[in-house]
């Protein structure tokens, strides 16, 4: 039996991943999250040990470490899926709070988990899987700044860590999902409507953008592909350094343009 520590296990994608891993019978999963009712549900699954943890608090992560130590002294994998989103202009509303909060959870929280559990990964000759997003490599879109910059930071963190840990023989793998229907997509809609109601500068523009954003969010990628990708990244003898899954077609088309071309599309399209 292998051991993995999985953050974001109480989220839309996390629940699907840890449930699938539970079924394989190959893994004991330390399923980390805050939501107590989801943690209770997860407890009913075989090979799942739910742990309440706030990844922004070192004390909370240290407590989780102590719990894990009562089961095993080594880990075969850490999977970082905890993450928040926000939709806001960078120059209005609660944008600074959003930037701070998203960096705290999406980036610093990930770094804290990997730092705290690293010795167990080293002893177990394990691997680290970090969840980025298509927003971490695609040309940045307007009004998703806090999320995008956090995911670009996840990419930079991941790649720097990978090149550091290659000297120690520990693979560091990033997953770059497109859009999947979870709490995160609902949150985007919620924050979008909030931005529309509070904006001074962008009301007309945001209302013009809404149908395209809704179309992108409604792509309804099949999350089973994402789950299979995570299992592949976990179990493959020679994992790839990154896995892209469910990439948005419309957004991918923008990648074909030079930067000035992307600006021109945004300007023309939503004028």
Ligand X SMILES: NC(=O)c1ccc[n+]([C@@H]2O[C@H](COP(=O)([O-])OP(=O)(O)OC[C@H]3O[C@@H](n4cnc5c(N)ncnc54)[C@H](OP(=O)(O)O)[C@@H]3O)[C@@H](O)[C@H]2O)c1
- The verdict on 183 binding ligand X (CB under 6 A) reads yes
Least distance from ligand X to the Cβ atom of residue 173, Å = 14
Least distance from ligand X to the Cβ atom of residue 82, Å = 4
Q: Residue 30 phi/psi, 5° resolution?
A: -85, 105
Residue from 128, 131, 195, 206 binding ligand X (CB under 6 A): 131
Nearer to ligand X, 53 or 202 (CB): 53
> In terms of residues, how long is the chain?
271
Residues 124, 194: Cα–Cα separation, whole Å: 46
Q: Collect all residues with Cβ–Cβ distance below 8 Å to 36 and sequence separation of at least 6.
A: 52
- Tell me, residue by residue from 32 to 51, as one string, x for binding to ligand X by CB under 6 A and - for no binding: -xxx----------------
Residues 165, 68: Cα–Cα separation, whole Å: 23
* Part in contact with ligand X (CB under 6 A); list of ranges 64-72, 178-186, 201-209, 256-264: 178-186
Nearer to ligand X, 103 or 262 (CB): 103
Put residue 264 in one of left, alpha, beta given phi > 0 → left and psi -120 to 50 → alpha. Answer: alpha
Residues 5, 3: Cα–Cα separation, whole Å: 7
- The verdict on 158 binding ligand X (CB under 6 A) reads no
Half-sphere exposure of 188 (CA within 13 A, CB side): 21
Kindly tell me the burial class for residue 122, based on how many C-beta atoms sit within 10 Å of its own C-beta (0-12, 13-18, 19 or more).
middle
Nearer to ligand X, 33 or 171 (CB): 33
Q: Collect all residues with Cβ–Cβ distance below 8 Å to 6 and sequence separation of at least 6.
A: 14, 17, 18, 21, 29, 30, 31, 32, 78, 79, 81
Nearer to ligand X, 67 or 205 (CB): 67
Least distance from ligand X to the Cβ atom of residue 226, Å = 8
Nearer to ligand X, 216 or 235 (CB): 216
- The verdict on 248 binding ligand X (CB under 6 A) reads no
- The verdict on 216 binding ligand X (CB under 6 A) reads no
Nearer to ligand X, 12 or 140 (CB): 12
- Tell me, residue by residue from 100 to 129, as one string, x for binding to ligand X by CB under 6 A and - for no binding: -----x---x--------------------
Footprint of ligand X on residues 48-67 (CB under 6 A)? 53-56
Q: Collect all residues with Cβ–Cβ distance below 8 Å to 79 and sequence separation of at least 6.
A: 4, 5, 6, 7, 17, 129, 131, 230, 234
Of the candidates 191, 185, 208, which has an alpha carbon nearest to the alpha carbon of residue 92?
191
Helix axes 145-165, 110-123, angle to 10 degrees: 20
Least distance from ligand X to the Cβ atom of residue 137, Å = 11
Q: Residue numbers of the site for ligand X (CB under 6 A)?
A: 7-8, 10-14, 33-35, 53-56, 81-84, 105, 109, 131, 133, 177, 179-180, 182-185
């Amino acid at each position: 039996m292998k051991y993995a520590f999985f953050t974001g296990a109480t989220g839309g994608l996390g629940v699907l991943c840890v449930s699938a891993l539970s079924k394989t019978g190959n893994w004991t999963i330390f399923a980390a999250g805050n939501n107590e009712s989801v943690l209770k549900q997860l407890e009913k699954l075989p090979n799942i040990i739910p742990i309440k943890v706030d990844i922004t608090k070192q004390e909370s992560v240290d407590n989780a470490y102590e719990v894990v130590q009562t089961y095993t002294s080594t880990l075969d994998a850490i999977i970082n899926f905890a993450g928040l989103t926000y939709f806001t202009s960078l120059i209005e509303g609660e944008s600074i709070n959003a930037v701070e909060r998203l960096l705290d959870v999406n980036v610093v929280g990930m770094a804290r988990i990997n730092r705290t559990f690293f010795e167990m990964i080293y002893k177990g000759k394990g691997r680290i899987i970090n969840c980025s997003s298509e927003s971490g490599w695609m040309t940045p879109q307007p009004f998703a700044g806090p999320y995008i910059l956090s995911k670009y930071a996840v990419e930079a963190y991941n790649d720097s860590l990978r090149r550091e840990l290659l000297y120690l023989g520990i693979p560091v793998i990033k997953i770059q999902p497109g859009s999947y229907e979870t709490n995160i997509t609902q949150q985007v809609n919620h924050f979008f409507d909030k931005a529309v109601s509070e904006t001074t500068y962008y009301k007309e523009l945001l209302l013009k953008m809404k149908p395209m954003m809704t179309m992108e969010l409604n792509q309804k990628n099949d999350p089973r592909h994402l789950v299979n990708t995570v299992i592949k990244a976990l179990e493959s003898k020679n994992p790839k350094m990154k896995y892209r899954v469910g990439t948005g077609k419309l957004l991918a088309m923008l990648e074909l343009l030079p930067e000035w071309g992307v600006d021109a599309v945004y300007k023309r399209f939503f004028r």
